[in-house]
Amino acid sequence: MSENVTAARPSAQEPVKFKKQNQAKEIWRRFRKNRGSMVGLFMLILILLAIIFANVIVKYSAATTQNLSIKLAGPSSEHWFGTDSYGRDLFARVLYGGRTSISIAVLATISSCIVGSTLGAIAGYFGGKVDNLIMRALDIFMSVPDILFTMAVVFALGANFVNLLIALTLAYFTNYVRLVRSQILSLSDLEYIEAAKAGGASSARIILSHIFPNAMGVIIVNTTLNVAKIILYESTLSFLGLGMPPPQPEWGQILAEAREYMRSAPHMLLFPALAIILTACAVNLIGDGMRDAMDPHLKS
């Protein structure tokens, strides 16, 4: 029997392959729809541009040149944020301080992420005694309140960029160890991992190509949010006198100086505080947005 008249037979549709590209595009699209995240992104880009091109906007010397005759002046057309107790231009100090604070925070986040994730991956994947040892050591390490430890380390090694980086990494890597370990523990059980093992994949390959891509989402969100936390932490350290040595400006340090002059010169408190708060808000908005974009639930 001949077949009934049909139109040109439709080609069998390929099930949509969700390649990484498609997934990333989808996440970006959801991120874009979220107004909060876009505001955060916009703010952050502005801040970053201002900081990167700081030397175009105002010279570094303005941040360090003292001029006691105009000390503690309020905002004016010449000194947009006013001056500090040594007559230095506050706007320049905040701008250049941003360079220090943000670059340390970003680098410290990345390094703590790498150190912590590696440790967590090892603990999670190999399990058993290795896992036990790492987690116990971590418990002891975490019993020392991190701020005291950081302070001791910075004090021991001296306050400069690299040492601060080391101290901050030490303070924050523990975050990642637990996180990555639990991701690996929960993902390892899934059947596709067993399938990979059954297919003969080596441990490293399994970790890299199967587990990490899925844990990646959680890691990225956490890392973004950690940047904000480290910015706050770093400024607290410099407030306590453990940041970069003067005259290099840093937000926390500017605020430490502002403390004495709060009554007479509140602008010294206002502007660096705003800088910290706005930057942290921007980063948090982006982090929250990324989290929502990666795990959407239908909104009516």
Partner 1 sequence: MNENNILEIKNLSVIYKTDLETVNAVNGIDISIKKKSTFGLVGETGAGKTTTARSIIRLLPAVGHVTGGSIEFEGQDLLTLPAEDMREYRGDKIAMVFQDPMTSLNPVMSVGDQIAETVKIHNPHLSKDEIDKRVEDTLSMVGILPSRKVEYPHQFSGGMKQRVIIAIALACEPGLLIADEPTTALDVTIQAQVLMMIKDLRDRLGTSMLMITHDLGIVAKICDDVGVMYAGEIVESGTVEDIFEGKNHHPYTEGLFGSIPNLKSKAKRLNAIPGLMPDPTNLPKGCVFAERCKYATDICREQHPGVVASGTHTLRCHLFDENGNRKEKKNEQ
Partner 2 sequence: MYRYIIKRILFLIPTILGVIFIILLVLNFTPGNPGRSILGVSAPQEAVDQLNQELGYNDPLMVKYVHYLKNLVVNHSFGTSYFTRQPVANEVLPRFWVTLKLSIIGIIISTLVGVPLGMLTAVKQYTAWDYIPSVLAFLLAAIPAFVLGMVLLFVFSLKLNILPSYGLNTWQCYIMPSLCMAIPITAFNIRFTKSSMLESIREDYIDTARAKGAKESTVIWKHALKNALLPVITNIGLNMGGLIMGAVVAERLFSVAGIGALIVDRIAYKDEPVIIAGTIVISITFTIIMLIVDIIYAFIDPRIRAKYTRIKG
Residue numbers of the site for partner 1 (CB under 8 A)? 1-7, 10, 12-13, 15, 298-300
User: What's the min distance (Å) between Cβ of 148 and partner 2?
Assistant: 6
Which residues here bind partner 2, judged by CB under 8 A? 136, 139-149, 151-153, 155-158, 228, 232-233, 235-236, 239-240, 252, 255, 258-259, 262-263, 266, 269, 273, 276-277, 280-281, 284, 297
Residue 248 interacts, among partner 1, partner 2, none and using kind-specific CB cut-offs from 5 to 8 Å, with: none
Residue 5 interacts, among partner 2, partner 1, none and using kind-specific CB cut-offs from 5 to 8 Å, with: partner 1
User: What's the min distance (Å) between Cβ of 299 and partner 1?
Assistant: 7
Residue 98 interacts, among partner 2, partner 1, none and using kind-specific CB cut-offs from 5 to 8 Å, with: none
User: What's the min distance (Å) between Cβ of 146 and partner 2?
Assistant: 6
Residue 35 interacts, among partner 1, partner 2, none and using kind-specific CB cut-offs from 5 to 8 Å, with: none
**Which CB sits closer to partner 2, 40 or 124?**
40
User: What's the min distance (Å) between Cβ of 169 and partner 2?
Assistant: 15
User: Which residues, in sequence order, are CB contacts of 290 under 8 Å at separation 6+?
Assistant: 27, 31, 37, 220, 221, 224
SS3 labels along the chain: CCCCCCCCCCCCCCCCCCCHHHHHHHHHHHHHHCHHHHHHHHHHHHHHHHHHCHHHHCCCHHHHCCCHHHCCCCCCCCCCCCECCCCCEHHHHHHHHHHHHHHHHHHHHHHHHHHHHHHHHHHHHHCHHHHHHHHHHHHHHHHCCHHHHHHHHHHHHCCCHHHHHHHHHHHHHHHHHHHHHHHHHHHHCCHHHHHHHHCCCCHHHHHHHHHHHHHHHHHHHHHHHHHHHHHHHHHHHHHCCCCCCCCCCCHHHHHHHHHHCCCCCCHHHHHHHHHHHHHHHHHHHHHHHHHHHHCCCCCC
User: What's the min distance (Å) between Cβ of 195 and partner 2?
Assistant: 25
User: What's the min distance (Å) between Cβ of 32 and partner 1?
Assistant: 13
**Which CB sits closer to partner 2, 207 or 286?**
286
**Which CB sits closer to partner 2, 114 or 142?**
142
**Which CB sits closer to partner 2, 246 or 266?**
266
**Which CB sits closer to partner 2, 121 or 237?**
237
